[in-house]
Structure 1
């Protein structure tokens, strides 16, 4: 009875902690969106002039600003936008297209690119981290290799990949061509963008996996498993990995945000048809609603992954208690 009550109490405490974390992150997202509104509003130029062109007269610009609601105070515009978003409506672009339709067209290609990069990151960092823990010459190779990989910015790595695999060898295309669905016409057009996104994250996460596995391997139950003569692979999978999982999952959840942020740069370099092009065009037009919508959608995905990581961490710690 006492054990059950204690377990229930710990579960309730973990639930309250997760709820507080979710509310805190939601507050941070709203603050970030408010900052986006202010930052775009401070950009030089006029949204109405960007839409109408240089030939527009002052009267036409003033009329367009009234049509777009740009003559209202910035706090009012932000509160109205947030209210509409809560109902599922992101509004319209400065050029009149529904933002929901724009995101529905452009977010899936970005999700495909980021998902493939995340899959490569998870698989390769787990393999490299586990291989690294075994010691030997692999540590002497992976120590500097992962450091260099993690330190390379995506745009630098993308440029190097284009120079080597597109310009020098001609093995892979450097520009993305899409079909009517909005996705690349061939799979090889995904290789370089995925590598440009995944390699820095593989370098970082391999180091996290190695550190987490090393710490978990020092637990007493792992020593007992080794003394019992269990194979090293069984010890790693059954006795080390479960204790290292919370740290590793949290690192992967953080990686989702890094991949989404990096994809906006990589998509521009490879002419990939995702949110990167949408964001670049909306900044050029000073279209605050579109920029905020992209940030809100990316933030929601990141919050979902962080919440998943928090849940796994809480479950793991609860089980140890």
Structure 2
């Protein structure tokens, strides 16, 4: 229990440090939030009054503490244009959850299927393809995968749109607009989780009861599903829990590239406006989700280790 609380405090301190860094970086970027919130012809007096209204004339540590102290109560402040940050986050979050949820489903289904096939036939043709391919896609950031998908399926072939257009509901106007963002987000994680599934099943295959089941004449499929998969499941679930957090963070990047109407687009607009409150609030939501999933993954791993003793 003490170890868990120590880990929790460390992750919380890391999150606060990250938010302070985000707040500082946005504040020191070239440009002025007050000028961005006003018309181009605004006078110096109007800009000064707007800076005072936004609190930009206060010291940076004081501004950060004022914003951070309201977060536990759900008060994320207001944007430079006077809109409540919480309302903007609530409006954009469902679209990001849709994108991340679809990417998670694709990741889990593909990784389980490929990983189990690889473990069942470690010397087959597919295994020889998966060995280098999964290592390559794991090393590719989401924005590189997105750029490659756009060049092939949008520009070269013309099958899928490269830009997302929001409908009246705020979600993408057509289902095909989700295909490339989902694939760009899922492909790197499919590579990683496929290797995790294969490795976990390979470790499970060396257990005495699995070897005994094979000697008794059970089919390869029965041994895999009944004896190897249950042993490998805690490791796989912990990897998926980590993936959930990583997908949420990666979604912010992918959304910006595809003009997807979610938290990523909100983050890009807030940086353009030098809106520290909105930028930090978006980073806080992403950080809390990632931190929560990492804690879940740590708990699952610890439970699995205790179960094997």
Question: TM above 0.5, one fold?
Answer: yes
Q: Which runs of 5+ in 2 are unaligned?
A: none
TM-score of the superposition, structure 1-length normalised?
0.90
Aligned counterpart, 1:181: 169
- Aligned match of 1:138 in 111, 126, 131? 126
Moved more, 142-151 or 268-277: 142-151
Q: Secondary structure at the match of 1:95?
A: coil
Q: Provide the rounded CA distance (Å) in 2 between the counterparts of 1:245 and 1:55.
A: 62
Q: Secondary structure at the match of 2:56?
A: coil
Moved more, 212-221 or 124-133: 212-221
Q: Secondary structure at the match of 2:163?
A: coil
Q: Secondary structure at the match of 1:185?
A: coil
Q: Provide the rounded CA distance (Å) in 1 between the counterparts of 2:136 and 2:36.
A: 41
Q: Provide the rounded CA distance (Å) in 1 between the counterparts of 2:86 and 2:49.
A: 25
Aligned counterpart, 2:16: 30
Q: Which runs of 5+ in 1 are unaligned?
A: 1-14
Aligned counterpart, 2:31: 45
Q: Secondary structure at the match of 2:80?
A: coil
RMSD value, Cα: 1.8
- Aligned match of 2:114 in 128, 132, 135? 128
- 1:203 lines up with 2:191 in the alignment: yes
1:256-293 Cα distance to aligned partner (Å, 9 max, x none): 33322322222122111011111111111111111110
Aligned counterpart, 1:251: 239
Task: Count how many residue pairs are aligned between Structure 1 and Structure 2.
Answer: 307
- Aligned match of 1:222 in 182, 186, 210? 210
Given that 2:263 and 2:282 are in contact with CA atoms closer than 8 Å, whether structure 1 keeps it comes out as: yes
TM-score of the superposition, structure 2-length normalised?
0.93
Q: Provide the rounded CA distance (Å) in 2 between the counterparts of 1:241 and 1:150.
A: 23
Q: Provide the rounded CA distance (Å) in 2 between the counterparts of 1:267 and 1:276.
A: 5
Aligned counterpart, 2:3: 17
- Aligned match of 1:318 in 301, 306, 309? 306
Moved more, 96-105 or 184-193: 184-193
Moved more, 297-306 or 281-290: 297-306
Q: Secondary structure at the match of 2:126?
A: helix
